[in-house]
Amino acid sequence: MNFPRLLMLFLPLACGVSGISANGAGTIGIWHRDYASAMNEARTENKKLLIVFTGTDWIEICDKFYNEILGDPIFIETVAEEFALLKLEYPKDNVLPREEAAQKAVLRDAYRVRGFPTVVLTDTAGRPFGLNGYQPLKPREYGEQLLAINSFHEEGMALANKATELTGAEKAKGLSRAIPDLPGALVARFFRPEIEAVLAADSEDSLKLAEPFRKLLAEADYSQEIQRLARESKWSEMITATDRHIAAQRLEGEALQGALLNRAGFERRAGDAEAFPSTLHQIIAINANSPPGEEAARLLKSEGATAPGEPPAKAAAGE
């Protein structure tokens, strides 16, 4: 659980609140533009944090989302008692002051944001408990939807606290309510202690959570190892770590394809001209129609190769 401490390293970089108020006077709520000021409000006023990752200057749906929902005083009034609001803009050209760019890169990576707009709800330790995006709702309806996610989270935390007095499967069941329904990578990264507590309480695995939870932890460990090695450009060791992960977890189907796609990327960076296309062919052979299979075929074509069963590209006239 190193990420919350990592975020705190960025707090001194902020230069105060830079946002807009719902009514021009700041009496309803403020959209902060930096993490430090938003987190300060959340901690000072006992709120959660609502982070919007967006690109309003170049993505139409982001602009629509803000103008029709997020920037509406009704939305802000609906959520402002429960959430401090943080709007993070990512320009198309990605030109930002160095410190701001570093902070935004860390936040985007930490919450696995792959597209805009993305809404992330977190507690004051930086741990996410809800994800959302644009929906064609009225401002109040969208705000109430986020409040419902927050209420469900608080109810789960209360049940988990009570469960500490229980034993066995009942304890594990209660403790599991503290673990939000999020993509596996996020859950394993931010809620490892809760996952391990559930596994310890239900030693007989009566809830049948041992296998999925251990896979989540293994995936998180693999990701951390890959990130550590990537910082030093140790591509060969990253290939070895990926093969070890595949074997240890006995990956199959799309999970195997995803891991192999990682390996292919490492082989490419390592300059292994033979292994790279071979791994891509292996991915396609598993399932050519899956997202990893289609991505492998695209990479092959970009390298001038062809997927199995496809005719080779014809040379242009005069070549």
* Domain edges within the chain: 3-152, 233-302
CA distances from 223 to 6, 43, 95, 102 (A): 17, 30, 28, 20
Residue indicated by tokens 């209660």: 174
CA distances from 51 to 63, 86, 188, 215 (A): 16, 5, 20, 28
Cβ proximity of 121 and 150 under 8 Å = yes
Q: So what's the pLDDT on residue 21?
A: 46
> In this structure, which amino acid lies at residue 238?
M
CA distances from 148 to 28, 96, 145 (A): 20, 35, 5
Contacts of 160 (CB under 8 A, 6+ apart): 174, 175, 176, 177, 178, 194
Maximum distance among all Cα pairs of the chain, rounded to whole angstroms: 80
Rounded to two decimals, the pTM is 0.77
Kindly report, residue by residue over 34-47, the tens digit of the pLDDT.
999 999 999 999 99
Torsional sign, CA 67, 106, 270, 307: negative
CA distances from 257 to 10, 25, 58, 188, 220 (A): 36, 53, 33, 21, 17
Return d(Cα 172, Cα 167) in angstroms, integer: 8
Return d(Cα 192, Cα 314) in angstroms, integer: 52
Return d(Cα 262, Cα 256) in angstroms, integer: 10
Kindly report, residue by residue over 246-298, the tens digit of the pLDDT.
999 999 999 999 999 999 999 999 999 999 999 999 999 999 999 999 999 99
Q: Summarize the confidence of residues 42-59 as an average pLDDT.
A: 97
Cβ proximity of 226 and 262 under 8 Å = yes
What class, spelled out in words, does domain 3-152 have in CATH?
alpha beta
Residue indicated by tokens 């975020």: 7
Kindly report, residue by residue over 69-83, the tens digit of the pLDDT.
999 999 999 999 999
